[in-house]
């Protein structure tokens, strides 16, 4: 009976680790150090290139993107750190601590939620700069694709 309990505990720990790895690989939004930035400047400026913005609109878009960049970088840095801690919690211990792993995944989910809210708020600000016709063009464009850089699982 004790052998079954030990085996079951190991299987539960392995399953928990596998789920955590899957969540990390699917939810990684922080860029790797060798990747190009994918922040507001990329997301905000690329789609706008096709809208024939006036000089005033370009300046307003640039100001909005600049305003959000610092906060975005801080969030991304916190996400990278939390993902690193999660990786160590899963693979750095002989027996992963389920409570620590759960706390880290909750923290990562909160940071990703904050990043999404900030991204949406930035998009709302950017939309206010556009004319009705430009907003229609943006509404019908395909969403920007997120890159699958090195180290990302698909």
pLDDT digit string, tens, across residues 104-122 = 999 999 999 999 999 999 9
Asked if the structure places residue 68 within a domain, the reply is yes
Q: Where are the alpha helices (DSSP H) in the chain?
A: 2-27, 40-45, 55-91, 98-127, 132-140
Question: Looking at residue 12, what is its pLDDT?
Answer: 56
Does some domain include residue 147? no
Task: Provide block-wise average pLDDT over 10 residues at a time, the chain (154 residues).
Answer: 50 47 40 45 58 91 90 93 97 94 97 95 93 91 63 48
Residue 128: per-residue pLDDT: 94
User: In total, how many domains does the chain have?
Assistant: 1
Q: Are 17 and 96 in contact (CB under 8 A)?
A: yes
Please tell me the predicted confidence (pLDDT) of residue 22.
Answer: 40
Q: Report pTM.
A: 0.59
CA 140 to chain centre: 24
CATH number where 72 lies: 1.20.120
**Backbone conformation region of residue 52, classed left if phi is above 0, alpha if psi is from -120 to 50, else beta:** left
Q: How far apart are CA 83 and CA 88, in angstroms?
A: 9
Residue 117 has a pLDDT of 95
Range of the domain at 94: 2-140
Rounded to the nearest 10°, the torsion over CA 24, 77, 151, 83 is -30
pLDDT at 23: 39
């Amino acid at each position: 009976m004790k052998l079954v309990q030990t085996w079951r505990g190991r299987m539960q720990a392995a399953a928990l680790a596998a789920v955590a790895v899957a969540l990390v690989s699917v939810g990684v939004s922080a860029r790797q150090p060798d990747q190009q930035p994918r922040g507001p400047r990329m997301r905000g400026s690329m789609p706008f290139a096709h809208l024939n913005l006036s000089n005033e609109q370009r300046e307003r878009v640039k100001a909005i993107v600049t305003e959000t960049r610092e906060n975005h970088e801080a969030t991304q840095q916190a996400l990278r750190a939390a993902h690193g801690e999660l990786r160590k919690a899963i693979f750095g211990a002989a027996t992963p601590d389920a409570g620590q792993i759960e706390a880290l995944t909750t923290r990562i989910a909160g940071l990703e939620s904050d990043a999404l809210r900030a991204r949406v708020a930035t998009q709302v600000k950017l939309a206010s700069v556009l004319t009705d016709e430009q907003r229609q063009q943006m509404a019908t464009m395909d969403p920007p694709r997120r890159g699958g850089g090195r180290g990302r699982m698909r």
